[in-house]
Amino acid sequence: MFRRMVLLLAFFVILCACGNGKSGPYEVVFSMDGPPNSESASITAVPAGKRYTIAIVPKGVEIPYFQYAAEGAREAGAEFGDEVIFEGPRNADAEEQIRIIEDLIDRKVDLLAVSANDPDKLVPVLRKAKQQGIRVITWDADTEPPAREFFVNMVEPETLGRHLMDTMAMSMGESGEFAILTGSLAAANLNEWLRWIRVQHEEFYPNMKLLEVVPTDDDQNKAYEEARRLLAEYPNLKGLLGNSSVGPPGAAKAVREAGKAGRVKVVGLSNPNLMAEYLRDDSAQMATLWSPKKLGYLTVVLAHRYLDGAKPADGQEIDKVGSIRVNGDMVIMGEPLDFTKDNVDQYDF
């Protein structure tokens, strides 16, 4: 009898066990969930809480191009909560730039982003910064590669150099004499562009003659003076090409004052704001540039991310900038923009 009772009890237990599983409104059948992960965090990219001190060193603080770049840099700094120090020599002077970098090293910034006036002279001071644990990148104008982690470039040098030559040739009708106003003969980026200008010239435009390459030290007054000199010296001068932002406005001013507007063509790298008046009265035909604001913004964004531990990657999409390209340790922001009298009003830099 006892055995029967046990048997009945066993049945009862089995029945209970069968009915049991259904307690509660949900019963998991299958789960693919791994350990709980917050993948949704990547959708709303909240900036990492850490704040950095980022020093942006331009070629010259008084050059409008760099002032616009500073605007963009500050915009990014405000978004990340970083302190952006914008300090540099007054004009494109390497010695002064070194002193300022020394000063910034003493202030223990987290990162130095330098637009180098001289690719070689700056190397020792940047090495020193690196030894003190300060990250070093370059933007706008590069140094020797070992001195920095990566270089934020605006455009492909070849593309820009060939394009500048093309705009000169186009406005001059592919024949005649022209001169080039460059910034500093030491600046690496200007020399690189200059090299490609020459390549394009020799390759496609045999009827054009390059008279002179004149340095302006990124000083607008000096550019103006040099342009006047060239106009006086070469009566057959048909074109002036500036490959640093102070060149074309100075040249255009000289051309206008010489009453040669439209006869001597002025093209080159410069800010639309500086060029707007000359473009309108045909003292200049075309300006080419990129957005320095965007460059400043991108530099700080990449600097911040680098401090967070992420290096820029090819094809990376940067908010409010677009996709960037990375070639070795060189970041390329995008393509150059051309400004004519038709579109120059659209741009504010």
Partner 1 sequence: MIFKRGLTFRFRDMRLSSKLIVTYLLLTVIPLSLLGYLTYAQYARSVEAQIGEYMPKFLYQANADIAKHMNELMKLPEMLFNSEDSLAILRRSHYGNRSDMNRDRYILNGYLTRTYMAGSNPDLIGVYVLSNGRLFQSAKISFREQDWQQSLQRYGEQWGRDDRTRILLPGQIDLRFASDVPYVFLLKPLFDADNRKLLGNMLIAVDLSFIDGILHNFETNERAQLWVMDGAGQIVYHTDRSKIGQRDPEISHYPVKNGSFRSMAGGESRLVSVNQSQALGWVLVHSIPAKVLTERTDFVRNVTIFVFAGIVLVTSLIAVLFSWNVTRPLQRLSSLMKTVERGNFEVDLKVPGGDEVGTLARSFNSMIGTIRELIRENYQIEIRQKEAELYALQSQINPHFMYNTLETIGMAVEEGEREPVVEMVTLLGRMLRFSVSNQSKSVTIGEEVQHVRDYLTIQKYRFEDRLDFAIELHLDDREPHTMYTPKFILQPVVENAIKHGLEMRKTLEIRIAVSREFGARSGKTDLVMRVRDNGPGIPDERLEQMERMLRSAGYEGRSNGFGLSNVNARIVMMHGPQYGIQIHSIKGLGTEVTIRIPVMHALE
Binding site for partner 1 (CB under 8 A): 1, 4-5, 7, 11, 14-15, 18, 22, 24-33, 39-40, 43, 45, 71-72, 75, 79, 290-291, 293-294, 297, 319-322, 337, 343, 346-349
Name the β-bridge partners of 114.
57, 138
Q: Which is nearer to partner 1, 5 or 49 (CB)?
A: 5
Q: In terms of CB distance, is 118 or 156 closer to partner 1?
A: 156
Q: From the CB of 37, what's the least distance to partner 1, in Å?
A: 9
The nearest distance, CB 217 to partner 1, in angstroms, is 27
Would you say 211 or 276 has its CB closer to partner 1?
276
Q: In 88-119, which positions are buried (b, 16+ CB within 10 angstroms) versus exposed (e)?
A: bbebbbbeebbebbeebbeeebbbbbbbbbbb
CB of 14 to partner 1, least distance (A): 7
Q: How far is the CB of 259 from partner 1 (least distance, A)?
A: 31
Evaluated on CA atoms 143, 153, 167, 280, the torsion sign reads negative
What are the DSSP E strand ranges found in 208-259?
A: 208-215, 237-242
Nearest approach, Cβ of residue 122 and partner 1 (Å): 28
CB 267 within 8 A of CB 286: yes
Matching residue, tokens 């001190």: 53
**Could you tell me which of 196, 184, 198 has the C-alpha nearest to residue 156?**
196
Cβ atoms within 10 Å, residue 282: 16
Question: Which residue lies nearer to partner 1 by CB, 89 or 334?
Answer: 334
When the beta carbons of 14 and 170 are compared against partner 1, the nearer one is 14
Tell which residue, 145, 160, 132, has the closest CA to residue 55.
Answer: 132
Distance (Å, whole) CA 58 – CA 55: 10
CB of 220 vs partner 1, minimal distance in Å: 22
What distance in Å separates the CA atoms of residue 87 and residue 97, rounded to the nearest whole number?
A: 9
Joined tokens for residue 87: 């300090």
Based on CB atoms, which residue is closest to partner 1, 44 or 236? 44
Minimum CB–partner distance for residue 4 and partner 1 (Å): 8
Q: Answer yes or no: are the C-beta atoms of 61 and 87 closer than 8 Å.
A: yes
Query: Which residue lies nearer to partner 1 by CB, 32 or 309?
Result: 32
CA-CA distance, 182 to 156, in Å (whole number)? 18
